[in-house]
Structures are given as C-alpha cells and as structure tokens.
A and B are shown apart, each in its own frame.
Chain A
Amino acid sequence: MSSNQFIVASPPTDAISALKFSPDPNSARIVVSSWDKNVYLYDLRDENGSVGEGKLLQKFEHRAPVLDVCFGEDENVIYTAGLDWDVKKIDLNTSEQTVLSSHEAGVRNVVYSREHNIVISASWDSTLHIHRPDAGANPDSIATIVPLPSKPFSISLTDSRLVVAMASRALHIYDLKALALLSAEADSSVPGGNRVEVEPWQRRESSLRFMTRCVACMPDGAGYVSSSIEGRVAVEWFDPSPESQARKYAFKCHRQPAEDGVDVIYPVNALAFHPVFGTFATGGGDGGVSFWDGISKRRIRHYPKHDTSVSAVAFSGNGKYLAVAISPGFEDGKDDVAEGAVQIYVRELGETEAKGKGAK
C-alpha cells in the first residue's frame, strides 16, 4: 500500500471518544472529542489547500471528558456532549459556548438533524433530549425529554429516522418528524411538560447476542448496521416487510485467531458509512479497519492493524478521505496514556478504494 496516509499533528492527550468530518464536501475540517476534556478542531488542508497532516485550529476545554461531538447546521457550529452531563453548542467563529440542556448523567451521544433542525442527545440517565438550536433566541426554551427503557449506547440518524441502540440489546427506531413535532409542541411552561413519552416507530431487539457497541445508518436511509462487543456486525433494513427483514444478516470480524484455536474477540468500536458508495468501514479493538460492502456482503479492504484500539472512524463529506482515531483500549482502563498511543490517521482514498465490488 502506498503511503497516502497522514498522521494529524497535535493529537489529543487522552483517548479519543469521537471524530467527525465536516459535512461540507469541500471542507477538510474535523472535530475530535477526547477524554482529556477537550474538543479539537483541525483543518487538514494547509495554506495551499493540499491535504496533509493539517493543523489544530481550536481547542475547547470542557469540565469533564467529552464523549461525543457533531457538526451543526454548518461547519461553524458544533454540538458536544460529555461526562459533565451537559449538551453544548459551540460557535466556532466566536468560540461562544452555550449549554443547551443538562442531563442527569453523562451524555453519551449527540447528533444533529439538518432536515428537521434538531439536536438530539442521548444520556446514560436513559433519556433523549431533543433541542431546537434556533431557540437560542429564546432562552426559556428547554429541551424535550424522551425517556428510554435502557441506557443508550449509540445513536445514528438518517434524514427521517433515528436509531437508538441501548443496553439489554434494545433498539428503538424513531420517526424524526414525530420527534421534531413533539419537541415543537411540548409545553415547557408546565413543570414536567417537556417530558413526553414517545412511542417509537419500531422497537427491535438487537440481532447480535452481545452488547451493542455502535450503530450507523445507511446514507440512503434504507437501513442500518450495528456492531457488538463480540466482534460482530449486523446489517438490517428499516422496512418491516418480511422480504426486507429476510435480508438482514450478521458477520464476524475483528478477531484474532490464537494458537490454541480460541479466537481473541475484539469489540467493534466504530462504524462509518461512505457517503458516496454506501459501503461502510468498521474499526475494532484490534486496531484494524476494514471496508465492507453491505449489499453484496463482501469485504472490500482490510488495512494493517494499528498498535492500539480504533475508537472512531469517519469519512469526509466527499468520501475522499478516511479518518481513523486510535486510542488505548477503553477496555483496560490504564492510568497513563503512552506517547503516541492516541493518534488520528487520515487516509487519502483512491478512486475505487472504498467502492463496492458488486455482486459475486
């Protein structure tokens, strides 16, 4: 493999929790949230516009480790969520930080829906908070709280659906329109009026036997993939018809065969769909990253392993770059982070590198 891979300069000092590319296809900005309590903004392009190791543009300190970050309506707004229980909006131009809401426990995920202009956060207090960021003008507006049956571990959305993967292998699929409407109608003047029970569009049990690690929706909105701590990935479709449900399947990955015939099984920490080809990447606790074609059920590529666990993967808006965040395993919880153990690799993809192979 040729050396079209860069290591991003000045990485976080502790494990990376999330990494996102700007949705703008012409942008090479990435935001990274870290357990070192900071959110980092990088631009991979240098002054001449060529993509390389990039530079750190800004760094936003939080009160506690940050667990997730996402871009907002444009690439100048980001939302963050973390162990300080807060969901924050950060204006990158002014560096102004606004707390949108506070959960009652650490906030695991935050996503932004461009189509409905809502920010959804998921916390270990087993709730979703739905925020309308345009309510910045209206400080009295508070988030709508949607209770969940279990702790959420990962959320992902399409333009019309929200998938929430929870503990106890529960999985809810919400209709975003309904959530947006509820959030708009919720009466925040009444105490507790912002707490609404929402019946999900679909309730499912995970197809995987073990704890769900990550979910990611297909760019075409037809379905989603989920991964578990037991080196397995499931591909499923939203359409409840028996024909579509019969198409779902799961496969094993991120395992290391051992000498005694017992595999070492790593969690699949990260999933990301390619925005153009609809293929997806998995990142595992083994430090490996693979590309898969979920439709033709084939592995496209398999990259050499990194030294430490892959904690996040992301494709750029135009699908030309893949960013891989590596961090020492969440599993062992070591006290100090070795030099160079936290890195962000950016890979320039060849024309067809992430393209599906077509049916066999």
Chain B
Amino acid sequence: MGKKRRGPSLEELLARPWCYYCERDFDDLKILISHQKAKHFKCDRCQRRLNTAGGLSVHLSQVHKEQLTEVDNALPNRMGLDVEIFGMEGIPEDVLKAHQQRVATQFQQAEVERQAVTGNPPAGASANGQPAKKPKLEAASDLKKRLAEHRAKRAEALAGGSSGDVTPTSAGQSATPTGFAQSPQAAATPAPDQQQSFPPAYGSAAAAPAFSFPQTHPGQFQPYPANGNQPLDMPVPQPYVPNGYPQPFPAIPGQPPTYGAPPSFLQQPTPPEHRPSALPAASNLPQRPTFGAPTVNAHQMQQMHMGHVPQSQATPAYNGDGPVSQSVDDLISGAANAAAASKPTEGVEKPAKKDKSKPSGHMIYSHETISPEERMAELPRYAFVPDTTSQTVLGEVPPAVVVGAIQTSDTVLDPAR
C-alpha cells in the first residue's frame, strides 16, 4: 500500500547535487562531475576533459600555450577561475545558501501553483496534524459485502420495493460518491438533518465518501456504523478546513476565498493577519507562503549572486500597471484559473496575458520608424550636403524626398543649387 508520490519533497530537492557554473541539478554526484567535465572543464582545442577549471588552465597553458580566462558555458557571474570547483566541493558558502533558497522558493512556488490548480492540500500537510488523504481502498471482504448489498438493493429496486432512489439528496450523493472528495465545499454545505435522514439502506453508499473525506465532519456519518464499513481514516481532533472555506478565519474584507491555499505551509503557520491586507490588489492571490525569506525569482537570484541585495518582494506596491515580476504573474494566473468560480474583487485589475507588443523591459533603443543609423546621421558631425553641381542628378530632387536625416538645424540645404 504505497503512498502515491506527487513529486520530490523539499528536502530531496535540496539534497540534489547541482553545478556551480550553470545551476543545473543532477540525480547524483557522478553525473554532476561528468557534466562539469563535459561542459565546463573540456578543452576546446583537443576535447580533453579535465577535472577542474584549474586543471584545464594548466592544461591549456602547458599543452596549447594558451591562457584560460573564463569557464565555458557558465553563468555570467560564475565564469571566474578563482573558485576551485569539483562536483559539489568548493562552492562558496553564500552561493550555496542562495542556491538553497532559490530551490526552496521554486518549490514553494510550484507547490502554490499546483494547489491553486488542483485544490489539493500541500504534500506535507500530514505533518501539520492533518492526515494526508489516504487512498481509497477496501478490503476484499468489504467489497464483496458491498457488492452483495448492491445486488440486493437492485433486486429490491427492480421489485419496486425501495423509494431510496427518489430521495433527492441521497440520490445525488450516492450517485457521486467521489464528488465529495473533489468538492469539499459541496460536502460541507448539506445541513446535518438532511444527512441524518439517510435511510439505513444507503449507509454503505453514503459512507463511501467517508473514505476520501472523513476528516471534514467527524462523527457526521456516525449513524451508520452498523454496515461494517469502518472509515479508514480515524477522525482527528482538528477538523479539516476545506480549502477556500474561510470559516475559521475572521472574514477579511476584500479577500475572497483563497481557493486552494493551505491555511499553513511548511509547518510555519501563517495567521491571516500576516496577509498584506494593506495591498488590496494582492487579495486575489493565493496566500504567499512565508519561508522566512523573501520570494526571489531567478533574475534576482542572479543579482544576489553578484552581490546585490534584492528589493524586498514582500512589500512591492501592486499597482496593477507597473511591471510585475514573473513569479507574481504566475501566481496570479494560477490563482485566476483556480478561482475562476470565485468572483474577482472590486477594483482588482488582473494583468492581461503577456502582450508581446509591449516590451517586457526597458528598451535601449525604441523609436518606431527612425533607425539608429538615421538618428546618428542627423548628428551635425556626420552631416553631408550633396554637391549636386558636379554630378548628374537623376531627375528632379524633390525636397520632400530628401531625407530629413541629413538636414539638421546646422545644415543649410539650398534647393536652388
């Protein structure tokens, strides 16, 4: 009865060996070392693979009489020869820390996105005291029993003896037992008395959702213990809070149900007060996990590696029109998909899908019709006035055609000439 793996845990991710020069990570150290030999420490003269950058440097100078100045295929800030790297050895402490933080951030981001899409609780939720969803499994004897009951029921129905199928609520629920697991809100809404009204004959069918959703309302299905279907999950003292069901939190104005967001993350409970309620635009986002470090995207991480301290990501003003970092974009789109059902709050502008007609950054040259050369040709020092007297002119030279590029305020063009 193996647990279904959803992906590596953060610890596993952090433990993966990775390459200092290109930040790629690998399954094991051996592969990392062969990667470094092939990508970063290979002599491009004779294809020999050296073990370290220092080794390559010595090889180049002794064999090819050349000087190694930088490491091949490395990130721009990692080309230096000053650090001696072999596998995972020699990575400076600060770089290591930054990498771990980056991995952690990416992990969280992926987690948040995944939750936003699937609405599933986080992978590590069981550690929080909330039992992880157990797979729905029944013992063979139970199955047989249910089959027998089902057959009996059908026979009864055929005989016209039962009115069970016309009971609206139970009919719907018994028809879609798995629907409970997927839509916790639906499960939470039926009034208790309705559930009490289940005829005993439906006990087994009604109890089926209990396998997948036992922690929601412990005890609610208690009236039907007689059919022998013990819920696999023991009721836990802490009630499971369905995602997007903000009951346990004080309702925060302007904050719609954060569908898919876990109430806490990575064993660091984040009380709702920590949410930046001063930033209304952020209200549509799933709650940002706090990890004791600001979220940093890859660019910023690179900057950090270069020694710049990134601007705090936790407190930028989400003013809607300004350039928003990629991570926020992703979060928003992820949340927007998941929370499509929930109404967007007033005044929140969702950033439109990436518009390629707008540059995503600051363009060095951005004129629409004048090329850089034309601009340069306008400079007085490049000005040229054609000496038309000494040449045959092909037809009339209309002044309008004479490109303005050559005419500057300093240049006087005499059309009469």
Show the binding face of A for B, using Cβ within 8 Å: 1-4, 15, 17, 35, 63-65, 67, 83-85, 99, 101-102, 104-106, 108, 124-125, 142, 145, 151, 153, 167-168, 191-192, 209-211, 213, 229-231, 255, 257-267, 285, 302, 304-305, 329-331, 333, 335, 350, 352-353
Contact = CB atoms under 8 A, between A and B. Distances in A.
6 closest A-B pairs by CB: A263-B361, A330-B372, A64-B384, A105-B403, A257-B299, A2-B66
A261 B379 contact: no
B361 A255 contact: yes
B19 to A, nearest CB: 16
Given A2-B44, A106-B377, A261-B326, A267 B405 contact: no
Contacts of B323: 260-262
B402 A265 contact: no
27 contacts: A1-B70, A2-B45, A15-B376, A17-B373, A65-B382, A65-B384, A84-B386, A101-B394, A105-B405, A106-B374, A106-B377, A125-B401, A142-B394, A209-B356, A211-B369, A229-B364, A229-B367, A255-B361, A257-B299, A259-B300, A261-B324, A263-B362, A264-B362, A264-B364, A267-B372, A330-B365, A330-B372
Interface in B339-380: 356-357, 359-369, 371-377, 379
Contacts of B401: 104-105, 125
A352 to B, nearest CB: 8
A84 B384 contact: yes
Tell me whether chain B's interface is mostly helix, strand or loop, or mixed: loop
B8 interface: no
Interface stretch (B92-100, B194-202, B261-269, B303-311): B303-311
B79 interface: yes
B186 interface: no
B391 interface: yes
A229 B180 CA distance: 54
Interface of B: 44-45, 60, 64, 66-70, 72-73, 76, 79, 297, 299-300, 302-303, 308, 310-311, 323-326, 356-357, 359-369, 371-377, 379, 381-382, 384, 386-387, 391, 393-395, 397, 401-403, 405-406
B373 A108 contact: yes
A102 B386 contact: yes
A261 B299 contact: yes
Nearest to B79: A304
B365 A331 contact: yes
B364 A267 contact: yes
B365 A124 contact: no
B74 to A, nearest CB: 9
Nearest to B381: A335
Nearest to B298: A257
A260 B384 CA distance: 43
A254 to B, nearest CB: 9
A230 B363 CA distance: 6
B44 A259 contact: no
A125 B360 CA distance: 33
A1 B361 contact: no
Interface of A is mostly: loop
A277 to B, nearest CB: 15
A335 B379 CA distance: 9
Contacts of A3: 66-67, 69
Contacts of B69: 1-3
Given A267-B365, A331-B375, 12 more contacts: A2-B64, A85-B386, A124-B374, A167-B369, A211-B369, A211-B371, A229-B367, A229-B372, A257-B302, A259-B308, A259-B310, A265-B361
B258 to A, nearest CB: 24
Contact of A259 (B79, B303, B403): B303
A305 B70 CA distance: 12
Nearest to B384: A64
B366 A102 contact: no
A336 B174 CA distance: 83
Contacts of A151: 369, 371, 374, 403
Nearest to B310: A259
Contacts of B76: 304-305
A189 B384 CA distance: 31
A64 B45 contact: no
Nearest to A35: B382
A265 B364 contact: yes
A229 B379 CA distance: 20
A267 B370 CA distance: 13
A192 B361 contact: no
A65 B382 CA distance: 7
B384 A191 contact: no
Contact of A124 (B325, B397, B405): B405
Contacts of B374: 106, 124, 151
A335 B376 CA distance: 10
B354 to A, nearest CB: 12
A285 B365 contact: yes
A266 to B, nearest CB: 5
B365 A262 contact: no
B313 to A, nearest CB: 9
Nearest to B67: A3
Contacts of B381: 335
B339 to A, nearest CB: 24
Nearest to B356: A209
Contact of A104 (B300, B311, B366, B397): B397
Contacts of A65: 377, 382, 384
B361 A262 contact: yes
